[in-house]
Amino acid sequence: MEDITKENIANWFKDLQDSICNTLEELDGKSKFLEDKWEHPEGGGGRSRVIKNGSLIEKGGVNFSAVSGPTPDKILQALNLPQADFFATGVSIVLHPENPWVPIIHMNIRYFEMSNGVWWFGGGIDLTPHYVIKEKAHSFHQYLKAACDKHDSSFYPKFKKWADDYFFVKHRNETRGVGGVFFDRLTNTEHKSKEDHWAFVKEIGQTFIPAYEDAVAELRNREWNKADKDWQKIRRGRYVEFNLVHDKGTKFGLDTNGRTESILMSLPPEANWEYDYQPINDLQKKTLYLLKKDIDWI
């Protein structure tokens, strides 16, 4: 049986970062990742890898981190935890495409433990199309359901609902995209062990590449015009709003003195905020109509 230590978990995440970066470079076919190694002031550090101006990816990042130190009071209060040191490690990915027909994709999988014995896993993966295409949303959710069902048939409906509720831009009353799965604070229960949760988290990590390859297939070569690019930038603006206003991962990183450049890697290279923008065609109207919670994409 695998020894599930924080060191082994961090090493697996590093290997996943390597594997995903290698495959994305092949998939892009033009650009390569630039690596920036950094150290956390209180302990640990990470490897930020950014790719830009590619044939597929206009800007993207695949980040690994393993940091430690005293848990900030703000985090302790928010999570109702006693004072203890923390260790946090994970991989975070956001890819912004060049072609407006290709969706934005995000994944984060992480592990957190404290010196008092508290630990949990968390993560999620979701898709944010600029134009919602039902068939692509269906296929993406099929990948996630298959990954979840290997471990527990209750996971997909539960974590899909969690994603719908989490990836929601409240002030716009719309979801960030077509959702995916989201989970947090998975720890020992009567029915699930640390081994069970770790196996599930690895499954989600390994699902990223096939799900993304399917999401971009056919779309990456579809022709687009200035109106499509303008719409893409409007939708990127919504993405920025969620990440800066609602995203707990962004807040956690900043509250724990994380590296700002790595935390804000998720933001697109360009985004627009046009006053009172109104959809100019039926596909834009359809996309806004489908940015709702609780749609059964399967």
Question: Which residues are identified as catalytic?
Answer: 106
Listed in sequence order, the residues at least 6 apart from 38 whose beta carbon sits closer than 8 Å to its beta carbon are 45, 46, 47, 48, 259, 262
Phi and psi at residue 62, in whole multiples of 5°? -130, 105
Torsion 83-85-87-88 (CA) sign? positive
Alpha helices in 89-193 (DSSP H): 134-149, 155-166
Instruction: Return the SS3 of 146.
Output: helix
CA 55 from centroid of its chain's CA atoms: 22
**What is the C-alpha separation between 191 and 172, in angstroms, rounded?**
38
Separation in Å, CA 36 to CA 13, 54, 265: 17, 19, 12
Phi-psi domain of 273 (left: phi exceeds 0; alpha: psi -120 through 50; beta: other):
beta
